[in-house]
Amino acid sequence: MIAREAGSNTIRLNKAIARAGLASRRSADEMITQGRVRLNGEVVTDLGTLLEPGRDLLEVDGNTVRLEEKPRTEVWALYKPKNCVSTMDDPRGRPTIRDHFPRTKARLFPVGRLDYDAEGLILLTNDGDLAQRVAHPSAMVKKVYLVKVKGLVSPQALAQLAEGPVLDGRRKKGVRARVLHVINDKTWLEVKLTEGIQHHIKKAFASIGNRVLKIKRYQIGQVTLGELEPGQTRLLSAGDVETLVAGPSKSRRKKTSPPQRQKADDGVK
Same domain for 215 and 146: yes
pTM for the whole structure: 0.72
How far apart are alpha carbons 218 and 216 in whole angstroms?
6
Query: What are 208-221's pLDDT values in tens digits?
Result: 999 999 999 999 99
**With contact defined as beta carbons under 8 Å apart, do 251 and 139 qualify?**
no
**With contact defined as beta carbons under 8 Å apart, do 221 and 142 qualify?**
yes
The CATH number for 155's domain is 3.30.70.1560
Same domain for 84 and 125: yes
Helices (H), the chain: 13-19, 25-33, 128-135, 155-163, 200-206, 238-246
The CATH number for 240's domain is 3.30.70.580
Same domain for 154 and 207: yes
How far apart are alpha carbons 121 and 77 in whole angstroms?
7
Lowest mean pLDDT among 2-6, 26-30, 152-156, 265-269: 265-269
Give the model's pLDDT for residue 102.
95
Task: Provide the domain count of the chain.
Answer: 3
Whole-number average pLDDT of the chain: 85
127 in active site? no
User: In 10 A of CB 204, how many CB atoms?
Assistant: 25
Alpha carbons within 13 A on the beta-carbon side of 119:
14
Q: Is the pLDDT confidence value at 5 over 80?
A: no
Same domain for 105 and 149: no
Give the model's pLDDT for residue 27.
86
User: In 10 A of CB 231, how many CB atoms?
Assistant: 13
Pick from 27, 44, 65: which residue ends a domain?
A: 65
How far apart are alpha carbons 209 and 48 in whole angstroms?
44
Same domain for 241 and 209: no
* Domain-embedded: residue 104: yes
Catalytic residue among 61, 115, 127, 185: 115
- Give the range of the structural domain holding residue 233, as residue numbers without chain letter: 75-138+221-246
Query: What are 23-69's pLDDT values in tens digits?
Result: 888 889 999 999 999 999 999 999 999 988 878 899 999 999 877 65
The CATH number for 45's domain is 3.10.290.10
Same domain for 79 and 60: no
How far apart are alpha carbons 220 and 77 in whole angstroms?
10
